[in-house]
Structure 1
Amino acid sequence: MQRNELLEAVDLIYAAALNEGASWQDVGDKLMALMQAQRATLWFADEGGMPGNLLMRHDSYDEEYASRYVLLDPYRASAREVSVEETVRRRGDVRLGHEIVPDASYVKSEFYGDFGRKSSRRYMIGGLISVSKVIPLGLHRDAASRPFSEEDKRTLSQLLPHLQRGLQMRARLVPTTSSLGAGALDALPIGVIVVDREMRILYNNAEAAALLSDSQSGLSSGRPRPGTVTSAFRLFARHPDDDAQLCRLVAAASRGGAGGGMQIHARPGVSPGDSTMLSALVCPALRHLSSSTQPNMGTGVVHGAATVLTRHLLRPSSPPVGLLIDLFGLTRAEAEVAVALAGGVTAEDVARTRRVSLDTVRSQIRTVLRKTGASGLRDFERLIALSSTMHTSGSLYVRCPEDDSFRARS
């Protein structure tokens, strides 16, 4: 498999996630070409809430599958037995069809005999993606093709984390990212810093400039002004261990990896409880986040670069309860607990304030993590930070007073 083909697939995933220059059907076409498959399946709700195959144009087989055979699909039945928590632990785990359902059982099944045989579903390779629930991804070959191989598993395992991240972006960020220019980026209460693999800053927004110019911050550089950077100023963490980890994450993301999160400690000598503690999320650099002068230049990954999203860890900006209800399907009680946790309090504090048992709060926390698709409290905090950008001054989300819901600003 040529590396540039994989990079092209990663480009398409993020472009489709932000609805700029590519669709999820383009992603499906690319996956099928890479894997020499006849079908790609990823059933996901559309903007109207109706389930459909995200990776292929609707055809009679999808209609037949949705109306009857989805209930007989042995692969999907196996996926239903896996929890969101287990999917998180198995992130990147790709399996061949016979590793999920024994081949002899599959070819004798009613599903294959009545439907799979005629719809090019003799051989399968797939993995599980966790957004707000477990979603199986499958690529299929017909009986005239060769079975998928271990090499195919390695190829798909490199793309699965990007598909996971892209679908999370699709579910949570698409309404706010149709045309992000410098003005919109400067309105965000999170720092946006684009760096190359040598940690040289290519761009930073207004919040990042303020953060980098703070003498007590754990991050610094030689340039505190917002905008595109023309000189080679380096981003660095003041704590050596943090700097080493940040460099590793940026190096991985700039090579096409999916990135990761970390905590940036306050400047040495500053109290650990100080509000200069930062959280950072490192992800592939996207073209429209890399240019303040060409905001509509198209989406895609800027190879050799990464985006670092930062915010104050102990100065959380919590989104309204109604927004969390709309975004993630939380109940009001769950959303109120989520906002309280984002404010930095403990589960014990929440239980005491709400006058409920600690077991009740812990159960609500587990439900919040499941519904938001967060892998843990740190991942949940990242989602809350991103959700918070939707209701700040200049927000692209507005509250509708008639039903207390939040909708994209027109």
Structure 2
Amino acid sequence: MQSDIPRTGDARAESSPHADPFLQRFELTDVVDLIYAAALGEGASWQDLGDSFMTLMNAQRATLWLGEEPGATGNLLMHADSYDEEYAYRYVAIDPYREAAGKVGLDETVRRRGDIRLGHEIIPDASYVKSEFYVDFGRKSSRRYMIGGLIGTSKVIPLGLHRDVASQPFVEDDKRTLSLLLPHLQRALQMRARLAPTAASLGDGALDLLPLGVIIVDREMRLLYCNAEADALLGDPQCGLSIARHGRGPHTSASRLVARHPADDAQLCSLVAAASRGSAGGGMQIRARSSALTGDSATLSALICPALRHLSSPGQPNMGTSVVGGAATVLARRLLGRAIPPFGLLIDLFGLTRSEAEVAVALAGGVTAEEVARTRAVTLDTVRSQIRAILRKTGASGLRDFERIIALSSTMHTATAGSRKTGID
């Protein structure tokens, strides 16, 4: 496949005098393919991925624990051994790296996405080698040196790679290598969460059973494939996505995917272009139309990912999972309609100013702080100051908690309005 991800040999041979000749032939793109194949259960196992991570990074252990994984309660990246059992039974509670990861919230993980750290950047090396964890367990289980990062899905998930005492420590070049892979692991787990619950096998016909749209486009946004739900979304005039016809005829190759809101279309094109070049893509919300700031709420949640071969060719069996260069997958699902409370209710309930109430309604409608600043012709610092005031006055611990409070306020408003209509006190 064509990709802007460098070959491992090119990236490491120049910077590491101890580079193994095999590593020089090992391509990062092979590991990217394995990431998606393992996460989606299509032609590769988690252990296959773990083996490739350890080969690529010259590590003796790889760790990734997904507690909700069916039938796999331990470390997914390696076959269970006595060390894993000993770790799960006793040493997980005193693992200093896991303890540090546990202190990082999901919102902070999102902000630190792609932030790879060496072991000594998490806990000072002198402290680590004197810890009970290392003295009693880490020394004998090849956990002298560590490199890792955090993945944020529905919870914070730490990924770790470990070398034994006879090895060289991980260095900055290793951080750069892992930083190219971690976003793909994040994206693959998000794809798995959306696709796997409905389709245990993503073979022929399975995609049409999914309750979300699967759209494959090339880097020019030309449609290559749509499943049944995507066809329904694109045919809905209230949906934030549409198709622009180029030329005549019914062929999808003559159609281009567009977002109805210009700002959303620009962001969607940017994410598709990045994913088609080999990056992990990203997520966004898509509004129904281009209109005023207030009341212009999002209708779709979209995840833009690399195009996978078995999704791009669902009618062809045994395709295997690999990334297709020059194309991207858009996974789109409808958002439940959000009732936004009126400005007056927010002012009465929480003592917001009119400006703060307008910003609160915009944020609840899915608009970003940057867009609020641009639309209101104020600085981003001003909007951030208003957001801090909104969080303080509503008692919200963060934007996610704020959305919950707004939803409750909307319910209160709806119930009150219903009581007035029916005469119920």
Residue 197, structure 1, aligned to residue 219, structure 2: yes
Residues 25 and 55 in structure 1, CA contact (< 8 A), matched pair in contact too:
yes
Counterpart position of 1:323: none
Residue 245, structure 1, aligned to residue 267, structure 2: yes
Q: Which amino acid aligns with 1:14?
A: Y
Counterpart position of 1:220: 243
Cα distance in 1 for partners of 2:252, 2:273 equals: 21
In the comparison of the two structures, how many residue pairs are matched? Answer: 339
State the shift of 1:241 in Å.
Answer: 3.4
Matches within 5 A, 1:6-155: 6-45=28-67, 47=69, 51-155=73-177
Matches within 5 A, 1:141-290: 141-170=163-192, 173-181=195-203, 183-213=205-235, 219-222=242-245, 231-266=253-288, 277-290=299-312
Unaligned 5+ segments in structure 1 are: 317-342, 353-358, 371-375, 379-410
Q: Which amino acid aligns with 1:254?
A: S
Counterpart position of 1:325: none
**Residue 277 to residue 70, structure 1, CA distance change in 2 (3 Å):** closer
Moved more, 274-283 or 30-39: 274-283
Q: Which amino acid aligns with 2:169?
A: P
Secondary structure at the aligned position of 1:86 is classed as helix
**Can you list the C-alpha shifts for 1:12-66, whole angstroms capped at 9, x where unaligned?**
1111111110111111111111111111112222645763111111111112212
State the shift of 1:138 in Å.
Answer: 1.0
Cα distance in 2 for partners of 1:33, 1:235 equals: 40
Q: Which amino acid aligns with 2:200?
A: S
Counterpart position of 1:344: 338
Residues 46 and 52 in structure 1, CA contact (< 8 A), matched pair in contact too:
no
**Residue 57 to residue 223, structure 1, CA distance change in 2 (3 Å):** farther
Residues 199 and 207 in structure 2, CA contact (< 8 A), matched pair in contact too:
no
Larger Rg: 2
**Can you list the C-alpha shifts for 1:107-151, whole angstroms capped at 9, x where unaligned?**
122222222112111111011223333222111111221111111
Secondary structure at the aligned position of 1:136 is classed as strand
**Residue 158 to residue 196, structure 1, CA distance change in 2 (3 Å):** same
Unaligned 5+ segments in structure 2 are: 1-5, 9-25, 347-390, 405-425
Counterpart position of 2:415: none
Q: Which amino acid aligns with 2:186?
A: Q
Q: Which amino acid aligns with 1:13?
A: I
TM-score, length basis structure 2: 0.68
TM-score, length basis structure 1: 0.70
Pick one of 277, 294, 298 that aligns with 2:316: 294
Percent of aligned pairs with the same amino acid: 69
Q: Which amino acid aligns with 2:150?
A: L
State the shift of 1:282 in Å.
Answer: 1.3
Residues 131 and 167 in structure 1, CA contact (< 8 A), matched pair in contact too:
yes
Cα distance in 2 for partners of 1:189, 1:297 equals: 23
**Can you list the C-alpha shifts for 1:262-317, whole angstroms capped at 9, x where unaligned?**
3444456899868995443211212222124225522232222111123455xx3x
Counterpart position of 2:7: 2
Cα distance in 2 for partners of 1:275, 1:133 equals: 26
Cα distance in 2 for partners of 1:304, 1:364 equals: 43
**Residue 194 to residue 98, structure 1, CA distance change in 2 (3 Å):** same
Q: Which amino acid aligns with 2:339?
A: V
Secondary structure at the aligned position of 1:53 is classed as coil
Residues 179 and 295 in structure 1, CA contact (< 8 A), matched pair in contact too:
no
Higher RCO by CA contacts (8 Å cutoff, separation 6 or greater): 1
Secondary structure at the aligned position of 2:304 is classed as strand
Cα distance in 1 for partners of 2:140, 2:298 equals: 60
Residues 179 and 296 in structure 1, CA contact (< 8 A), matched pair in contact too:
no
Residues 255 and 303 in structure 1, CA contact (< 8 A), matched pair in contact too:
yes
Q: Which amino acid aligns with 1:75?
A: Y
Q: Which amino acid aligns with 2:7?
A: Q
**Residue 232 to residue 365, structure 1, CA distance change in 2 (3 Å):** farther
What RMSD in Å do the two structures reach over aligned CA positions?
Answer: 4.0
**Residue 9 to residue 344, structure 1, CA distance change in 2 (3 Å):** same
**Can you list the C-alpha shifts for 1:294-348, whole angstroms capped at 9, x where unaligned?**
25522232222111123455xx3xxxxxxxxxxxxxxxxxxxxxxxxxx412489
Counterpart position of 1:336: none
Residues 100 and 122 in structure 2, CA contact (< 8 A), matched pair in contact too:
yes
Cα distance in 2 for partners of 1:20, 1:179 equals: 8
Q: Which amino acid aligns with 1:11?
A: D
